[in-house]
Amino acid sequence: MKKYKVIFLPDQKQVEVNEGTRLIEAGKEAGVYLNSLCGGEGVCGKCRVRIIKGKAKIDNNSVAFFTKEEIEKGYVLACQTGIREDLEILIPPESRLEEEQILSESLENKQKTWRESPPIHYSEPDWVSLHKRPSDPASLFEPLTSKIYLELPRPTIDDNIPDTGRIVRELRKKVKYPSYEIALPCLKDLFLKIRGSDWKITATLSRHNGIGQILQIEEGDTADKNYGAAVDVGTTTVVVQLVDLKTGRVIGVEGNHNQQAHYGEDVLSRIAYVCGRGSLDLLQKAVIENINVLIQTLAREKGIRSEDITSMVAAGNTTMSHILLGLMPCSIRDDPYVPTVDFYPPVSAKEVGIHINPQGIIQVLPSIASYIGGDTVAGVLACNMADRPETTCLIDIGTNGEIVIGNNEWMLSCSASAGPAFEGGDTKWGMRATRGAIEKVKIVDGKVLYETIGKAKPRGICGSGLIDLIYELAKNRILEIDARYSPSLQERRIVQGENGMEYIVAFPEETETGEALTVAQTDIDNIMRSKAAIFAAIKSLIDYAGLSFNQLERIYVAGGFGNYLNIEKAVGIGLLPDIPRECIEFVGNSSLMGARMALLSYHVFEKAIGISQSITNIELSKFALFADEYMASLYLPHIDRERLFPSVKY
Amino acid sequence: MKKYKVIFLPDQKQVEVNEGTRLIEAGKEAGVYLNSLCGGEGVCGKCRVRIIKGKAKIDNNSVAFFTKEEIEKGYVLACQTGIREDLEILIPPESRLEEEQILSESLENKQKTWRESPPIHYSEPDWVSLHKRPSDPASLFEPLTSKIYLELPRPTIDDNIPDTGRIVRELRKKVKYPSYEIALPCLKDLFLKIRGSDWKITATLSRHNGIGQILQIEEGDTADKNYGAAVDVGTTTVVVQLVDLKTGRVIGVEGNHNQQAHYGEDVLSRIAYVCGRGSLDLLQKAVIENINVLIQTLAREKGIRSEDITSMVAAGNTTMSHILLGLMPCSIRDDPYVPTVDFYPPVSAKEVGIHINPQGIIQVLPSIASYIGGDTVAGVLACNMADRPETTCLIDIGTNGEIVIGNNEWMLSCSASAGPAFEGGDTKWGMRATRGAIEKVKIVDGKVLYETIGKAKPRGICGSGLIDLIYELAKNRILEIDARYSPSLQERRIVQGENGMEYIVAFPEETETGEALTVAQTDIDNIMRSKAAIFAAIKSLIDYAGLSFNQLERIYVAGGFGNYLNIEKAVGIGLLPDIPRECIEFVGNSSLMGARMALLSYHVFEKAIGISQSITNIELSKFALFADEYMASLYLPHIDRERLFPSVKY
């Protein structure tokens, strides 16, 4: 069969494939991932690419996705286009599935922020003596599923207990549970498996209500092949960590964009879709496909069989958790905001269609309320807030800002609708923390110094970049205290745009698109609304608890800020409270970390249930003064700077 | 559409049906049940009938099931024959599904034998104060599934816990479990159900490991529609009792022949079929079809929806229990006789294909060993043996004789391969205790007086009839002490048959078939081997326990003897030990009664698990003296009559 060479731009990735291979497959082989919502059926039109060199005929069914100009320029759908000669392909930004920088607690960051809780590392699980250290949130190593190798004594006329009794008798010598249960599917061919393997087997074990559950019997010794998946089911991005359950080590991480986005950007619009004209099934399938693709990719990369992945813990907000399990989320959006469940029952992988071991356990972290989900519970776990006597605070900044305050005796939470400004929405050049996003900004002598993710040409600006920018604009008096562009300003970067004044962050010659990257007054207003909503929520919860900010021993900040958040500047714009900077810690994706901790410890998972039940959620609508706090926060840093932000000086 | 009249012989049942109706359907409508293993597909050839008057064309595909003579005589398959004119049909015995007399503890019998434990009768289940009376085996009324009606308070902003939390909060006021779980299928449309029913719902609840399991949510108040099925899965017959779980009352009972019989008469031949050329799947489907037909019949008769049947408890021997759940029984027959499981996990009805509520619970009573199954555990439950300080004995006479001896401190069991002589096998005219079977025999002055089941003409002789007959033959000196026909005998009923001497029980003019009903020496030999195996097993177990017979406070006799067993005569032939007759009780189908008790009480079900784990099973091959005991028992009543059967005098 003939072979052809395909080069993918802008990354210059190259691959040689057989004649007739579809472009989308060639992309995958080259490590270029394309948007493909419909799974390559040619119906979603998301995998648009442009042929730069060489020729390929556009499929008749695809023409409706393009304008005449686009067809002339060489646009095709990658999933509908077979390769018949050497090609050079340009992937336009909208078709790229960029690697997320936000993915997880990245290594360098983990070192920095997780001083108190070092990465989990065990040489061997120790079942009998559980070494518990206080303030180590993941010390009770007991993965949700474990594999135990057993050599069964052969039955004799004096010892002719049933096969299952024989298994349990040996298991008891290694794991102490009060009793054991074996699921029916596991019993069907047990007779053959035991005898076919010379009475040497490996049992996959989980635990439910304290009772050992045998999920699987394998022939021979497979105890070293046991993996789990920790999943952060975000509204925007889905991230999977593959974890070796024998050692607790993370062996890989992958993320992609939540394919539900095609049915609505945020949680409310997706609920509206499901409960209006749309279908729950479609959204459930979309996110399950997200997870399956990530798991499959990781398994292939690491040379692991998917059947050896025996458990998965997912953390997500309440809506994401409901949809993942196929539960109607409709009542979440309607006053009085009641979800169907808070504690999600464990289900088998087969039951929800996750492509790991069909008998594998899927556990979704419990929610607290309609707008405080398992991702927040995961954050509380990751920061070990519920075990310490000191009062700490978790601020998770996203489209909703979730705030938890408390200690080992009490915990309060609330959720503020902040809007997507810090996640790349609501602003013209806003983008998520992916390749090409400006994540750091400094203004020195009228010059704008910035850094982009991946050192690429700027494609936009992400949350941490916006915080830096607003701070720098305020410090340089380009923005007034009321966050409006100074009208008297003489500055070549200030121009008059369609929607009022704009500040040029990067000139056309600097950017990838060749257009100027600007921040208009309307953009600033949107960011200010987000930061005001979050700060007002923190302030309201602190007041509700009868505390002041300096009584907080520590503030943990989580959210989609990539690897970087300048704490000083976040306080400087009035997003975070003005407490000593060393008491504020950016923890990145605490949802994923909490999910992994629960995956690695049944005890931590049980603690999650306890946390979800013990946190008192406060509806912001109950705070009489919330609106006042919000209005007072629409300033840089705050209308009451002297009392609330004494250390902030521009 | 034209109507035709069909008369079914020999029962003279008549029905009018539409043109084209199949004979098998017409039979069902007339209340004539035909053997139909394949479910009417025309492939098993079991529904043979003969057309006596009128005509119907034999189906071309059916001819292979008949000889030329049969076709000429008018034989057809009822399932393949459409009705085109008035017909008269003769159903030959082999095609009849006779009503079993053995079915269950019939009313008259229950009154007689269950003095100590009156039929379960409760006006209302009482959840809180469980009235426990010692020696009442079914006092702890708590059905495996119950329905609880709940009126939920509507959520408000001050009380916006999730739907499930709201359900559990109300449930707790009515049922006290430490915690509750709700299965995923039940959560899927919970949102709609609760709101669609004005917050008035009924929860179906079961219990697993002490934790409440919500299986189903129904709209409105359905608490009075909750039923369960108790099933005796016998090797030969399957019996289902339909029970009202709200009151504990039995509302109907039906039985049929285990359709597995087509793949082998006894347990060993069925194991051979499954593990040799055959398929487990086929046998599992056969018995599940048995149960489904019975449940469907009962539900229709009583006007009950099958979805309102929410639980089922089955009792069967170890092989039947394995096959029912689709577990390979192969190791049961091979030394050292190890089954796959002893404790069967609870499964959903959907999982095994039982046509009750798909989420309904199927629970199989635990086994003790390969040849002591859940039917024996049920018997121990029914006789309340495990709760009393007095030592009692249960003898279940079937193809295997199972014997249990013990009290509330210890229990021993053993199983003897007795052969099917008492169940109608191994003898020329032997039959099960169904219509037309001779069940009582007396010989007075050379005349044979007998009674048949249903007062019909004799078609054969069942177990209890054979016991009577042997006793009477011995008493009248027609049989010698070594169970051989007296050679010197001058008697018109003694004739020389193909296989030696035969005794005519009924002359040709008396029987249904017009042939003489005889018992040959070979038949006597087979019966003697059965009775010797059972008595030797009882004697061995008593010796093993270091007891003597008169230390038994009571002997319970169970088995397929219909409604009748003459205790005096059973002792007289040396089948049962010679203890005071009022201490021997015939309990009929104790397996079905135990299954019903477990269905009506979670506590009794838990007790069954305890029983199965605490009984020590003794392999007869370990009794050095078993062979000697067996040889000594091949006499009437026993070679050591003076010591072991002092009260027996012919």
Residues of B in contact with A338 (CB under 8 A): 155, 160-163, 166
Contact A156 B336 (CB under 8 A): yes
For residues B331-351, average pLDDT: 94
Of the pLDDT bands very low, low, confident and very high (cuts 50, 70, 90), residue B61 is confident
Question: HSE (CB half, 13 Å, CA atoms) of B382?
Answer: 33
Decide the pairing of beta strands B309-316 and B361-364.
parallel
| Residue among B249, B188, B159 nearest A617 (CA) | B159
What's the mean pLDDT when you consider all of chain A?
Answer: 87
- Res. A110 pLDDT band, cuts 50 70 90: very low
Yes or no: say if B59 and B120 are a contact pair by the CB < 8 Å rule: no
- Which residue of chain A comes nearest to B348, CA vs CA? A184
Contact A327 B188 (CB under 8 A): yes
* Residue of A612, A541, A565, A206 whose CA lies nearest to A381: A612
Q: Which residues of A touch B160 (CB under 8 A)?
A: 336-338, 369-370, 619
The predicted pLDDT at position A140 comes to 76
Cα A283 from Cα A295, distance rounded (Å): 19
Separation CA B389–CA A386 (nearest Å): 53
Chosen from A168, A182, A186, A191 to mutate, greatest number of chain B CBs within 10 A: A191
Measured CA distances, A554 to A376, A379, A546, A572 (Å): 17, 14, 17, 18
Chain A hits for B621, Cβ within 8 Å: 157
Compute the distance between CA of residue A621 and CA of residue A416 in angstroms, rounded to an integer: 10
In this prediction, residue A129 carries a pLDDT of 24
Mean pLDDT of A281-285: 95
Partner residue facing B160 (CB), from A187, A188, A338: A338
pLDDT for residue A134 is more than 60: no
Nearest to A328 among B189, B325, B367 (CB): B189
Between A11 and B224, the more confident residue is B224
| Mutation target among A168, A186, A187 for the B interface, most CBs of B within 10 A | A187
Strands ordered across the beta sheet of B180-182 = B146-151, B200-208, B211-219, B180-182
In B, minimum Cα distance to A195 occurs at: B331
Query: Closest-CA residue in chain B for A211?
Result: B209
Q: Which string of DSSP letters, residue by residue, matches A492-510? A: TTEEEETTEEEEEEE-GGG
Size of interface A-B (CB pairs under 8 A): 131
pLDDT band at A25 (very low <50, low <70, confident <90, very high): confident
Instruction: Verify whether the Cβ–Cβ distance A160 to B341 is below 8 Å.
Output: no
What is residue B32's predicted lDDT score, i.e. its pLDDT? Answer: 77
Chain B residue closest to A367 (CA)? B162
pLDDT one-digit tens code per residue, B352-379: 999 999 999 999 999 999 999 999 999 9
> Are the C-beta atoms of residues A101 and A434 closer than 8 Å to each other?
yes
Is residue A135's pLDDT more than 90? no
Cα–Cα dist B240/B228, whole Å: 10
Q: Among B154, B331, B342, which would you mutate to test the A interface (most chain A Cβ atoms within 10 Å of its Cβ)?
A: B331
Q: Which of A331, A348, A350 to mutate to test the interface with B (most CBs of B within 10 A)?
A: A331
How far apart are alpha carbons B459 and B513 in whole angstroms?
7
Token reading at A408: 């080992």
Q: Is the pLDDT of residue A507 over 60?
A: yes
Q: Contact B162/A337, CB-based, under 8 Å?
A: no
Reply yes or no on whether the pLDDT at A623 is more than 90: no
How far is residue A580's CA from residue B19's CA, in Å, rounded to a whole number? Answer: 93
Q: How large is the average pLDDT for residues B126-141?
A: 40
The single residue listed with the structure tokens 């994706």 is A589
A335 contacts B157? CB cut-off 8 A = yes
Residues in A closer than 8 angstroms to B196, CB to CB, are none
Cβ within 8 Å of residue A211, ≥6 positions away: A177, A178, A179, A180, A181, B209
- Asked whether the beta carbons of residue B340 and residue A156 sit closer than 8 angstroms, the reply is no
Residue B182 CB contacts under 8 Å (≥ 6 apart), including other chains:
A341, A345, B164, B167, B190, B213, B214
Please report residues of B whose CB lies closer than 8 A to that of A167.
none
Asked if A343's CB is within 8 angstroms of B190's CB, the reply is no
DSSP B298-310: HHHHHT--GGGEE
Contacts of A195 in chain B (CB under 8 A): 331
Minimal Cβ distance to B157: which of A187, A211, A336: A336
Q: Could you give the C-alpha distances from A94 to A20, A34, A426, B79, B276, in angstroms and in order?
A: 25, 9, 17, 65, 61
Task: Determine phi and psi for B150, rounding to 5 degrees.
Answer: -130, 135
Does the beta-carbon distance from B191 to A331 stay under 8 Å? Answer: yes
- CA gap A373, A366 in Å, rounded: 7
Å from A549 to nearest chain B CA?
A: 27
**Can you give A96-155 as a three-state secondary structure string?**
ECCCECCCCCCHHHHHHHCCCCCCCCCCCCCCCCCCCCCCCCCCCCECCCEEEEEECCCC
- Specify the residue for token string 């979704």: A364
Task: Give me the torsion for CA of A189, A191, A192, A197, rounded to 10°.
Answer: 120
Please name every residue paired with B142 in a beta bridge, in sequence order, or none if there are none. Answer: B601
**Using the beta-carbon criterion (under 8 Å), do B341 and A162 form an inter-chain contact?**
yes
**A551-607, pLDDT tens digit by residue?**
999 999 998 776 789 999 999 999 999 999 999 999 888 999 999 999 999 999 999
Residues of chain A contacting B161 with CB distance shorter than 8 Å? 338, 342
Chain A nearest C-alpha distance from B447 (Å): 51
Q: How confident is the model at residue A116 (pLDDT cuts 50, 70, 90)?
A: very low
Token code pair at residue A59: 């499929």
Residue B492: name the closest of B505, B511, B479 by CA.
B505
Q: B467 vs A236, which has greater pLDDT?
A: B467
Cα distances from A384 to residues A134, A435, A563, B357, in angstroms, run 10, 32, 21, 44
Q: From CA A643, how far away is CA A635, in angstroms rounded?
A: 14
Question: H/E element holding B392?
Answer: strand B392-397
Report the alpha-carbon distance of residue A35 to residue A44 in Å, rounded: 10
pLDDT for position A109: 38
Residues of chain A contacting residue B190, judged by C-beta atoms under 8 Å apart? 327-328, 340
Say if residue B123's pLDDT is above 80: no
Q: Which residue has the higher pLDDT, A649 or B213?
A: B213
Higher pLDDT, B640 or A133: B640
Residue A381 has pLDDT above 90, yes or no: yes
Q: What is the pLDDT of residues A312-369, one digit of tens each?
A: 999 999 999 999 999 999 999 988 999 999 999 999 999 999 999 999 999 999 999 9
- How many residues are listed for chain B in this entry? 650
Residue B36's pLDDT is 58
Whether pLDDT at B34 is above 80: no
**Which of B195, B336, B345 is the closest to A157 by Cβ?**
B336
Chain B residues close to A155, C-beta within 8 Å: 336, 338
> What's the Rg (C-alpha) of chain A?
27
> Using a CB-CB distance cutoff of 8 angstroms, which residues of chain A are in contact with residue B193?
none
* pLDDT of res. B131: 30
Of A607, A133, A542, the C-alpha closest to A386 is: A607
pTM for the predicted model, two decimal places: 0.78
**Which residue bears the tokens 């031949």?**
B269
CA-to-CA distance for A399 and A269, rounded, in angstroms? Answer: 12
SS (HEC) of B111-172: HHHCCCCCCCCCCCCCCCCCCCCCCCCCCCCECCCEEEEEECCCCECCECCCHHHHHHHHHH
Residue contact A341–B164, C-beta within 8 A: yes
Q: Which of A163, A339, A345 shows the shortest C-beta gap to B162?
A: A339
Task: Show the tokens assigned to B273.
Answer: 């079929």
pLDDT score at A484: 94
Q: How far is CA A240 from the centre of its chain?
A: 8
Q: Which residues of B touch A183 (CB under 8 A)?
A: 345
- Give the mean model confidence (pLDDT) for residues B217-243: 95
What percent of chain B has a predicted confidence (pLDDT) above 90? 64
pLDDT given for residue A630 in this prediction: 95
Residue B618: closest C-alpha in chain A: A158
Residues paired with residue A204 on neighbouring β-strands, in sequence order? A147, A216
Portion of chain A with pLDDT greater than 70, in percent: 90
Q: Which pLDDT value is given to residue B47?
A: 81
Q: In what order do the strands lie in the sheet with B75-77?
A: B13-18, B3-9, B87-90, B48-53, B75-77
CB–CB contact A191 B161 (8 Å): no
Contact yes or no for A338 and B621 at CB 8 A: no
What is the average per-residue pLDDT within A445-459?
A: 90
What's the average model confidence in pLDDT over B302-311?
97
- Contact state of A328 with B157 under an 8 Å Cβ cutoff: no
Could you read off the pLDDT of B389-445 as tens digits, one per residue? 999 999 999 888 999 999 999 999 999 988 888 888 888 898 888 788 999 999 998
Q: Which chain B positions have a beta carbon within 8 Å of A372's beta carbon?
A: none
Distances (CA, A) of B262 to A89, A205, B24, B234, B269: 68, 40, 19, 14, 11
Decide if B405 contacts B383 (C-beta within 8 A): no
Tell me the nearest-neighbour CA distance from B152 into chain A, angstroms: 14
Q: Please provide the size of chain A in residues.
A: 650
- Is the backbone peptide bond immediately before A10 cis, with ω within 30 degrees of 0? yes
Cis peptide bond upstream of B178, omega within 30: no
CB atoms within 10 A of CB B224: 12
Phi, psi of B356 (to 5 degrees): -120, -160
Res B133 pLDDT > 90: no
CB contact under 8 A, B342 and A164: yes
State the CB neighbour count (10 A cutoff) for residue A229.
Answer: 28
* Span B454-464, pLDDT tens digits: 888 999 999 99
Cβ of A185: how many Cβ atoms within 10 Å? 16
Give the type of residue at B474: A
Taking CB atoms and an 8 Å limit, are A164 and B622 in contact across chains? no
Can you give the pLDDT at residue B139? 52
Query: pLDDT band for position B121 (50/70/90)?
Result: very low
Task: Specify which residues B444 forms β-bridges with.
Answer: B447
Share of chain B above pLDDT 70, in %: 90
Question: What is chain B's Cα-based Rg?
Answer: 27
Residues ≥6 apart with Cβ < 8 Å to A422? A397, A398, A463, A466, A467, A527, A530, A531, A559, A560, A561
Tell me the one-letter amino acid at B258.
N
CB contact (8 A) between residue B160 and residue A370: yes
Q: Is the pLDDT of residue B332 over 90?
A: yes
Round to whole Å and give the CA distance between B199 and A297.
Answer: 45
- A29-85 pLDDT, tens digit per residue, is 887 767 655 556 666 576 888 998 998 888 777 777 777 778 888 888 888 898 999
Tell me the average pLDDT across B136-143: 66
Reported as a single tens digit per residue, the pLDDT across B264-300 is 878 988 999 999 888 899 999 999 999 999 999 999 9
Take residue B532 and report the two structure tokens written for it.
């010797």
Which among A241, A207, A201 is positioned nearest to A223, based on CA atoms? A201
Set of chain B residues whose Cβ sits within 8 Å of the Cβ of A325: 184, 187
Q: Show Cβ contacts of residue B439 under 8 Å, excluding neighbours closer than 6 positions.
A: B433, B451, B452, B453, B462, B464, B465, B468, B561, B562, B564
pLDDT at B65 over 70: yes
pLDDT at A227: 98
How distant is the Cα of B342 from the closest Cα of chain A, in angstroms? Answer: 6
For the stretch B84-101, pLDDT in tens is 999 999 888 767 655 433
When pLDDT is averaged across residues B20-31 and rounded to a whole number, the result is 83
Q: To probe the interface with A, which of B177, B182, B184 has the most A CB atoms within 10 Å?
A: B184
